[in-house]
Structure 1
Amino acid sequence: MEPSKSSIQSLVSEIKEEIFSNDNLHPFVSSSAYDTAWLAMIPVDPRKQNCPMFKNCLNWILENQNEDGFWGETNYEGLPTIDTLPATLACMVALQTWNVGQENIEKGLAFVHSKAEILLKINYQNFPRWFVIVFPTMIALAQAAGLELVFPQGPKGVIADIFFKRQQILKTEELVDETQYCDLPLLAYLESLPSTYNVHQKEIVKYLSNDGSLFQSPSATAYAFMATGNVKCRRYLMSLVQNCPNGGVPGKYPMDEELIKLCMVDHIQRLGLAEHFNEEIEKILAKIYRDQKNHKTKRGKTNILLPIKLYNDSLAFRLLRMQGYDVNPGNLCWFLNDGEILKHMEENCEQFITVMYSVYTATNLLFPGEYELEEARKFSKRMLERSNKTNKDHNFVLSQGFQNVIKHELKLPWIARLDHLDHRKWIEEYNVTPLWIGKTSFYRLACLDNKKLMQLAVENYEFRQLIYRNELEELKRWSMKWGLSDMGFGSEKTTYLYFAVAASISLPHDPIVRLIAAKAGIIITVADDFYDMEGSLSELEVLTNAVKSGVKHLFHGWWKKLGSHSGYIPSVNEYLQTAMISIAAHTVVLPASCFLNPGMPNEKLKPAEYENITKLLMAITRLLNDTRSYQVIH
């Protein structure tokens, strides 16, 4: 069944209602089974231990176990990730605490016993720091709760190694390292610190944020509340649960709303759907730009982890600059001025793959003289080329599709790519939503995992293809009718020229602009071939005099081109002055632009302002054409 415009408009309306009408962005983030389990363990009365404070969280655990027995996220192949081990153990401990869900516990134990060895073996060389800290504690808690964990002989050695690595971390790291900006401090893992690691209540309260959280971690704050009974912690947890009425809580709260919105805009644009959400996109970016201007966001080291901050800054830079905002390169390039940061990134390349991809794509928009951006581009490219050998990112689960996207980005310059084809590649290669790593678990942005959004992207692409096919057939009939497709000289370029127009510009569905531009290109190509190879000098003089009064500038260029027939060799500047006219890019683009819908208001039409950019277009197309011609000949 072919997609229709009404079907597309219906989907657009539904998505606007689902994604853009809700100011509460927390439902857009997938729930963390690990953090939800810790909230489910909190009793209403710590003295009686007979009822959970947050029963919704306990119900969420009962209702959201994967059919294979685990809790947590799957990777791009639908297989459980390494975080499912601590998440599943935490959920079973929560159920065991309140003596419910025996069937769920049995399925969870079966999963751990059958899959732990595989998951540990796959990740053995690259256990993330958070896993090394958390997993041993969850094993101990599960055993203390009476759960029988039986590991085969093979994993026992791996588990012993994990326990040893955790001990090394506990010995060498401070509880809170003020100079640390790439990893969360040990105190952020309060719930996972062993009982032998004595943390005083005053130490916990000292590091509570103004919102009552411990490093915005629901699990750490849940434990802090159970340990201290602090009112601010309770208030934070109550707010968290109220914002997550389904019972499942995210791995971080509150979420970074700016980053979520930037990811939404980026994903929608890459899917080729920006035309349907222009108003919503502009509203989001305008607010982000105002916030940046008003608050003068602090550059460099902050309490935000480096990978997240740099990803946010690079994404904001690219999207704002593409939208025409005046964005200072310093908003992105601050990391270049800190040798400590650069050294850390070089030594921990695998933690920054997606961040470097974002930085690299942002530097596509550098202007001449922006040397900071040039340096950022070189650095990020070098990091991405190194990452091709590992295909691992500890902050992000890389699908094969996203690996292909990175390779494509490095291989083919952004300026040489065609939007419509890039949209198709994004739909095909990025059809599984990326997993970001929270403190102890992976999470998805549900707005990027929206099935309707992907359905809209596919239907929108197929609808465009249908329009393009129909327009091409119409263009072929027009060329044949006027004898332009079989002139007997030159090459027939109807399909080529239409492809160039349709694929390079993401215009709305209205066909008139594409057809006008393509027809102009066909006529100009035929005339150009006639001047180049068919007509005699006298014939060309007669033709030029006959029609140059109608299209004076174009035929003036072709008339000058006749100098090549008479043996005259112009200077480079003289050649370019003539050749940039004879390439006729302005003749194709300017008339067609008059039919854009919606058109530009008369009061905003200032031709003098567009003269320079038009000349640049003419010069660029001529130089590209001549470069390619030289490459073909030689």
Structure 2
Amino acid sequence: MGLEFIGSNDWALGEYDQVSPIGFDIIPTMINYARELDLALPFKADSIDFMLRNRELQIRRRNQNVDYVAEGIGESFDWKKALSTQQRSNGSLFNSPATTAAALIHIHNDKCIDYLHSVLKIFKTWVPSIYPMDIYTRLRMVDTLESLGVDHYFRYELNSILEETYRLWKEEDEEIFGDIACCALAFRLLRIKGYEVSPDELGEYVVDEEKFFETESMQMNGVNTVLELYRASQFRFPEEEEGTALDKINIWTSTFLKQHLLENTISLDKKLQKQVEYDLNNFHGKLDRVGHMQALALYDIHRYEILKSVYKCPMIYNEDILHLSRKNFHICQVQHQKELEELKRWYEDCRLDQLNLGRDVFVISHFMACAILPDIHLSNARESFSKTIVISTYMDDFVDHYGSEEESLKIIELIKEWNDDEELETTYGCSKEVEILYTALHRTVNDLAAKAYIHQGRCVKQALIDLWVEILTYFVREIVSSSSDEPTMDEYLSFARISIGCKLNILTIIHFVGVKFSADIFTSPECNSLCLHVGMVGRLLNDIQTYEKEQEEKTLNSISLQVAHGNISEDDAISNLKQMIDYNRKKLLQLVFKTQGSIVPRECKDVFWEMCKMTYYLYNRSDEFTSPKQMKEDIESLIYRPLM
């Protein structure tokens, strides 16, 4: 039957679009073995010649990069050298039973025998393509559960895996460092969780594409491995800049992946192709809940990988994980729909629906809250975010376009005076818009402060009031500065990074993320730095996106300020901003991941990171609330549309 199968499928030899196991082109050595056994192979002579010529071509092309499939080379391979240079402490060559068994045929080696016996003791009558893969498999499981948004169900177990991985990392365990995909994944997951891991451990041998493909075994050469390296390279700190290992890895891996997309060479694996597209286009703007939807769409319980043979990992791809992920998504979606109805009632009760200030932020603000705060228990955090976004956006629009400077200053005066006894009396004689905006803010701050008291055990009302006075003051300052002498770039950024709203939103939200913290956290240098960097990212991304519009409106923008004061072109000004954005994003991540000497709880710092991703999501597409096509699709999928 085997010979019959070979004969009926020999047409595939010339089909280059066929997905074949690693090293399949080198395996035709077995044809010579078959001939020695006088087996009559069902191949035409020209088919055999084609296979042998292709085999020699592959060996010459890969030069020294064939060790992993050396069993296909036979006697001509230097087995003695391979054992002296490549044999691992467990006795194997590349953790490959096949390669190790082939070495044992040519050279007796007790460590090879011990390794093969250990594999057979576990798997009995069969062996996997690679063994062991325990560390990589466990890390893949951590990554998969996090990407699907169900990691909170297994927090203790996943933390234990990462703690053990960090111990092995410090011991330079060869199962991690012998597989660059495993090393890159371990680096990324450990760095995100705040473990101190050096990118130098990824190795100088992967700093450029040519060197990578020259030195890495065929086992490592797939798109999946390069994608893992690309993801790891995204978590660079400011000092890991131009010329460092991570920077070089980022340059060649992004180029490599873009080229494969351009040439359509990943098309046989549609889901991998979509994952590469998604990571290249949205990495810094990948919102948690939107990412969970994407991961669910690409999750396939039947997914397999082709190594030397087809490999499927039931620990990562199975019905139980899929069922849990879908159920979790449905539970959260129902909760988000209930919260949206409550937000709508608040919106109407506050008469905000009577304002005509240009942008409709009601549903979008809730989508943003759900996207960055997906945990079902963070309902108050989502509420505070949504309401703060709605009011601050309407306040901004009123100050910018619809109200007078006197009316804007009046709102600030009312907030500073803050009368808890009778809020409506204080707005007597004001316009309808001022009355609605102030009373909505007054009611909302009082309500959020009462709820924050339950979470924090202390009164935070004055802190919230001060945040609103600060941002409204800077809203007005932007308008005044636009109509008078232009400020310098530094002067502009000193208030524009606050008027973008990141600080106001974050320092309101963190009261509701499940941890208590003291009031002096607000004024700590660490919190100030976090606010600085996230505000800079948001403001500069916004300025690039809205430059043409603001140029027409003659409002302040960091691009026009550079052109006016620095005597440089618009392109150079934009290039400068992109460098500043990149630096501030990396600095923010460094602060978020930092554990030693940090006084801001990680749960709070994560909100800064999520807000940073939100700014990339918003401003890399369009003006934040014009609801472009992709955002509309994400809103529909996240809040309304049931999973298919």
TM-score strictly above 0.5: yes
Give secondary structure in 2 for the equivalent of 1:277: helix
1:286 and 2:163 aligned:
yes
Counterpart in 2 of 1:112?
6
Matches within 5 A, 1:153-552: 157-166=46-55, 180=64, 182-184=65-67, 188-189=70-71, 197=75, 211=90, 213=92, 216-219=95-98, 221-222=100-101, 235-244=114-123, 247-253=125-131, 255-295=132-172, 304=178, 309-335=179-205, 341-342=211-212, 344=214, 351-370=221-240, 371=242, 372=244, 373-392=246-265, 399-412=269-282, 414-431=283-300, 435-438=304-307, 440-550=308-418, 551-552=465-466
Greater mean alpha carbon deviation, residues 226-235 or residues 546-555? 226-235
Cα deviation digits, residues 541-564 of structure 1 (max 9, x gap): 333212224423422442454453
Aligned equivalents of 2:396 and 2:147: distance in 1?
Answer: 37
Shift of 1:331: 1.9
Shift of 1:475: 0.8
Shift of 1:286: 2.0
Counterpart in 1 of 2:574?
none
Shift of 1:279: 2.1
Give 1:242's aligned amino acid: K
Shift of 1:518: 0.7
Aligned equivalents of 1:415 and 1:208: distance in 2?
Answer: 40
Greater mean alpha carbon deviation, residues 505-514 or residues 565-574? 565-574
Question: Residues 250 and 547 of structure 1: is their aligned pair in 2 closer, same or farther, counting only changes over 3 Å?
Answer: same
Q: Is the 8 A contact 2:23 2:218 kept in 1?
A: no
Shift of 1:495: 0.7
Question: Residues 479 and 143 of structure 1: is their aligned pair in 2 closer, same or farther, counting only changes over 3 Å?
Answer: farther
Shift of 1:313: 2.3
Cα deviation digits, residues 198-222 of structure 1 (max 9, x gap): 9999999989766455654434555
Shift of 1:319: 1.4
Give secondary structure in 1 for the equivalent of 2:195: coil
Aligned equivalents of 2:83 and 2:173: distance in 1?
Answer: 30
Give secondary structure in 1 for the equivalent of 2:359: coil
Q: Is the 8 A contact 1:402 1:430 kept in 2?
A: no
Shift of 1:365: 1.2
Greater mean alpha carbon deviation, residues 363-372 or residues 454-463? 454-463
Counterpart in 2 of 1:94?
none
Stretches of structure 1 that go unaligned for 5 or more consecutive residues are 1-105
Give secondary structure in 1 for the equivalent of 2:129: coil
Shift of 1:514: 0.4
Counterpart in 1 of 2:422?
none
Question: Residues 415 and 631 of structure 1: is their aligned pair in 2 closer, same or farther, counting only changes over 3 Å?
Answer: farther
1:613 equivalent among 520, 527, 530: 530
Cα deviation digits, residues 254-311 of structure 1 (max 9, x gap): x133222222222222222222222222222222222222338799xx9x4xxxx322
Counterpart in 1 of 2:638?
none
Q: Is the 8 A contact 1:494 1:522 kept in 2?
A: yes
Shift of 1:480: 0.9
Question: Residues 432 and 389 of structure 1: is their aligned pair in 2 closer, same or farther, counting only changes over 3 Å?
Answer: farther
Question: Residues 315 and 236 of structure 1: is their aligned pair in 2 closer, same or farther, counting only changes over 3 Å?
Answer: closer
Give 2:309's aligned amino acid: S
Shift of 1:487: 1.7
Stretches of structure 2 that go unaligned for 5 or more consecutive residues are 419-464, 553-644
1:577 and 2:455 aligned:
no
Q: Is the 8 A contact 1:211 1:232 kept in 2?
A: yes
Question: Residues 291 and 218 of structure 1: is their aligned pair in 2 closer, same or farther, counting only changes over 3 Å?
Answer: closer
Q: Report % sequence identity.
A: 25
1:558 equivalent among 472, 479, 497: 472
Aligned equivalents of 1:385 and 1:257: distance in 2?
Answer: 31
Aligned equivalents of 1:360 and 1:626: distance in 2?
Answer: 28
Shift of 1:380: 1.2
Q: How many residues align?
A: 497
Greater mean alpha carbon deviation, residues 605-614 or residues 346-355? 346-355
Q: Is the 8 A contact 1:349 1:383 kept in 2?
A: no
Counterpart in 1 of 2:590?
none
TM score, norm. by length of structure 2? 0.66
Q: Is the 8 A contact 1:583 1:621 kept in 2?
A: yes
TM score, norm. by length of structure 1? 0.67
Shift of 1:350: 11
1:591 equivalent among 508, 518, 521: 508
Question: Residues 336 and 484 of structure 1: is their aligned pair in 2 closer, same or farther, counting only changes over 3 Å?
Answer: same
Give 1:159's aligned amino acid: I
Aligned equivalents of 1:281 and 1:327: distance in 2?
Answer: 18
Aligned equivalents of 1:617 and 1:204: distance in 2?
Answer: 51
Q: Is the 8 A contact 2:184 2:228 kept in 1?
A: yes
Cα deviation digits, residues 17-66 of structure 1 (max 9, x gap): xxxxxxxxxxxxxxxxxxxxxxxxxxxxxxxxxxxxxxxxxxxxxxxxxx
Give 2:184's aligned amino acid: S
1:121 and 2:21 aligned:
no
Aligned equivalents of 2:38 and 2:331: distance in 1?
Answer: 57
Cα deviation digits, residues 330-383 of structure 1 (max 9, x gap): 122522568972573899999343222222221211122312122221111222
Q: Is the 8 A contact 2:67 2:217 kept in 1?
A: no
Q: Is the 8 A contact 1:333 1:376 kept in 2?
A: no
Aligned equivalents of 1:568 and 1:203: distance in 2?
Answer: 77
Shift of 1:614: 2.1
Shift of 1:491: 2.5
Cα deviation digits, residues 88-141 of structure 1 (max 9, x gap): xxxxxxxxxxxxxxxxxx4x5554343x13432324899777323334516854
Cα deviation digits, residues 154-180 of structure 1 (max 9, x gap): xx523332134446789x79xxx9x94
Matches within 5 A, 1:12-27: none
Aligned equivalents of 2:79 and 2:186: distance in 1?
Answer: 39
Aligned equivalents of 2:508 and 2:496: distance in 1?
Answer: 20
Greater mean alpha carbon deviation, residues 423-432 or residues 118-127? 118-127
Give 2:6's aligned amino acid: V
Question: Residues 333 and 202 of structure 1: is their aligned pair in 2 closer, same or farther, counting only changes over 3 Å?
Answer: closer
Q: Is the 8 A contact 1:270 1:426 kept in 2?
A: yes
Question: Residues 630 and 548 of structure 1: is their aligned pair in 2 closer, same or farther, counting only changes over 3 Å?
Answer: farther
Aligned equivalents of 1:544 and 1:199: distance in 2?
Answer: 80
Give secondary structure in 1 for the equivalent of 2:196: coil
Shift of 1:604: 11
Question: Residues 164 and 138 of structure 1: is their aligned pair in 2 closer, same or farther, counting only changes over 3 Å?
Answer: same
Question: Residues 157 and 631 of structure 1: is their aligned pair in 2 closer, same or farther, counting only changes over 3 Å?
Answer: farther
Question: Residues 500 and 323 of structure 1: is their aligned pair in 2 closer, same or farther, counting only changes over 3 Å?
Answer: same
Q: Is the 8 A contact 2:522 2:528 kept in 1?
A: no
Question: Residues 398 and 256 of structure 1: is their aligned pair in 2 closer, same or farther, counting only changes over 3 Å?
Answer: farther
Counterpart in 2 of 1:33?
none
Aligned equivalents of 1:198 and 1:365: distance in 2?
Answer: 44
Cα deviation digits, residues 376-397 of structure 1 (max 9, x gap): 211112222222255558xxx9
Counterpart in 2 of 1:629?
546
Question: Residues 409 and 613 of structure 1: is their aligned pair in 2 closer, same or farther, counting only changes over 3 Å?
Answer: same
